């Protein structure tokens, strides 16, 4: 498998997004988000998305020159995506949240009609860096149905991620962020296997016969559905989280729920909240609590080779390794990026090992 440096991949992504019609500043924001996702191990939300973003721009769902619009401001803000790249909406939401938490102890940003917000953990990390707690519920604006209600194989809900972030004030060398799809895996993990022969793990999907979908291409053609988080045994838990995420995002963002899909639209809605913990306790006490909890959890003896990790730690470890050794690019993803580069006359901008 080819490995590419984050710098060369980001430079290519930036050129590609400029070629879609964005200015340099927008291209830098979007490229940086995608490559950060690749760096922390969520390649499903990284540069594999570039061809999909190109399609969205060409199809008119995303306007590369647009910016999100703040529709109401104050303690509680509402943001409309305005057909802009979702990463711009994510950035603007973080600014509003941080301002709200600083001024009022709480910042709330409802989001509707956003382009793809990508890896929601990025927005949590940015809020946590400022010393605030973060929680969000995100939906797919009524579209992109993938999750089956428990006991069925019918696609009814998006993979609605739920995300939490806790500032640790130096207790840990990484942001303590829990960021998960409410399906067994994010749909992106199937998208990135489309075009490869690798069999999908059986625990991810279900068909009407009760059997899993074996190939990503079949899932992409409409076979089966993603199981909610918890799978065949306890999927009602993930399903419950997906239902409340659908509604929190729609209510606070004032956007649609499943069945109210915008025509041709597959973006994100969201309810983002930042809280100032100093309203309740001190940074020193938070640091002590996190240190104590982390030591307690890590004292558990692993049964196998895997150490006890805290939420956000796998991403941190992967980023350390990939900064040193490069980001692995699967053959099918490399082929898609080469095709994109050819289409936009950017072959000379490809990272050397992909050119």
Interacting residues with ligand NAD (CB under 6 A): 42, 45, 116-121, 138, 140, 159, 161, 177-181, 185-186, 188-189, 268, 309, 311-312, 314-315
Q: Which is nearer to ligand NAD, 308 or 335 (by Cβ)?
A: 308
**Residue 44: C-alpha distances to residues 52, 249, 349 (Å):** 12, 22, 22
Name the minimum Å distance from CB 312 to ligand NAD.
5
Give min distance, CB of 29 to ligand NAD, in A. Answer: 16
Q: Which is nearer to ligand NAD, 8 or 56 (CB)?
A: 56
Q: Which is nearer to ligand NAD, 205 or 268 (CB)?
A: 268
Question: Which CB, 19 or 29, lies closer to ligand NAD?
Answer: 29
Cβ distance to ligand NAD smaller for residue 180 or 216: 180
Smallest gap from residue 192 Cβ to ligand NAD (A): 11
Minimum Å distance from CB 92 to ligand NAD? 16
Least distance in angstroms from the C-beta of 41 to ligand NAD: 7
Question: Among residues 138 and 200, whose Cβ is nearest to ligand NAD?
Answer: 138
At a CB cut-off of 8 Å and minimum separation 6, what does 212 contact?
Answer: 200, 201, 202, 203, 204, 205, 206, 224
Q: Identify any residues that bridge with 78 across adjacent strands, giving them in sequence order.
A: 72, 110
Residue carrying the six token digits 């995420």: 245
The distance of closest approach from Cβ of residue 171 to ligand NAD in the complex, given in angstroms and rounded to an integer, is 16
**Which residue lies nearer to ligand NAD by CB, 179 or 246?**
179
HEC sequence for the chain: CEEECHHHHHHHHHHHHHHCCCCHHHHHHHHHHHHHHHHCCCHHHCHHHHHHHHHHHHHCCCCCCCCCEEEECCCEEEEECCCCCHHHHHHHHHHHHHHHHHHHCEEEEEEEEECCCCCHHHHHHHHHHCCCEEEEEEECCCCCCCECCCCCCCCCECCCCEEEEECCCCCCCCCEEEEECCECCCCHHHHCCCCCCCCCCCCCEECCCCCCCCCHHHHHCCCCEECECCHHHHHHHHHHHHHHHHHHHHHHHCCCCCCCCCCCCCCEEEEEEEECHHHCCCHHHHHHHHHHHHHHHHCCCCCCCCCCCCCCHHHHHHHHHHHHHCEEECHHHHHHHHHHHHHCCCHHHCCHHHC
Q: Which is nearer to ligand NAD, 42 or 351 (CB)?
A: 42
**Least distance in angstroms from the C-beta of 121 to ligand NAD:** 5
Closer residue to ligand NAD, CB minimum distance, 161 or 351: 161
Q: How far is the CB of 78 from ligand NAD (least distance, A)?
A: 19
Smallest separation, CB 343 to ligand NAD (Å): 25
């Amino acid at each position: 498998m080819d490995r590419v440096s984050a710098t060369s991949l980001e430079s290519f992504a930036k050129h590609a997004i400029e070629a879609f019609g964005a200015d340099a500043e927008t291209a830098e924001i979007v490229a940086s988000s995608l490559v950060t996702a690749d760096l922390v191990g969520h390649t499903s939300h990284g540069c594999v998305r570039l061809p999909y973003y190109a399609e969205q721009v060409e199809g008119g769902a995303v306007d590369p020159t647009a910016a999100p619009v703040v529709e109401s401001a104050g303690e509680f803000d509402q943001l409309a995506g305005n057909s802009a790249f979702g990463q711009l909406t994510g950035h603007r939401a973080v600014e509003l949240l941080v301002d709200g938490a600083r001024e009022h102890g709480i910042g709330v940003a409802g989001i509707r009609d956003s382009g793809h917000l990508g890896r929601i953990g990025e927005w949590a990390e940015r809020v946590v860096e400022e010393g605030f707690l973060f929680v969000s519920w995100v939906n797919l604006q009524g579209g992109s149905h993938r999750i089956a209600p428990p006991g069925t194989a019918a696609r009814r809900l998006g993979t609605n991620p739920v995300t939490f972030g806790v500032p640790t004030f130096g207790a840990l060398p990484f942001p303590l962020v829990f960021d998960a799809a409410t399906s067994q895996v994010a749909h992106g993990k199937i998208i990135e296997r489309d075009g490869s022969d690798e069999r999908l793990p059986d625990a991810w999907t279900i068909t009407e016969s009760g059997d899993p979908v074996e190939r990503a291409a079949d899932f992409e053609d409409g076979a089966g559905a993603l199981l909610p988080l918890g799978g065949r045994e306890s999927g009602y838990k993930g399903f419950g989280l997906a239902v409340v995420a659908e509604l929190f995002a729609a209510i606070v963002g004032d956007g649609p729920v499943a069945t109210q899909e915008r025509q041709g639209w597959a973006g994100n809605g969201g309810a983002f909240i930042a809280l100032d913990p100093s309203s309740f306790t001190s940074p020193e006490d938070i640091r002590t609590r996190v240190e104590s909890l982390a030591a307690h959890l890590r004292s558990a003896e692993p049964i196998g080779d895997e150490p006890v990790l805290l939420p956000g730690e796998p991403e941190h470890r992967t980023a350390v390794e990939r900064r040193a050794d490069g980001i692995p690019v699967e053959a099918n993803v490399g082929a898609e990026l080469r095709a994109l580069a050819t289409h936009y006359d950017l072959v000379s901008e490809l990272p050397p090992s992909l050119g």
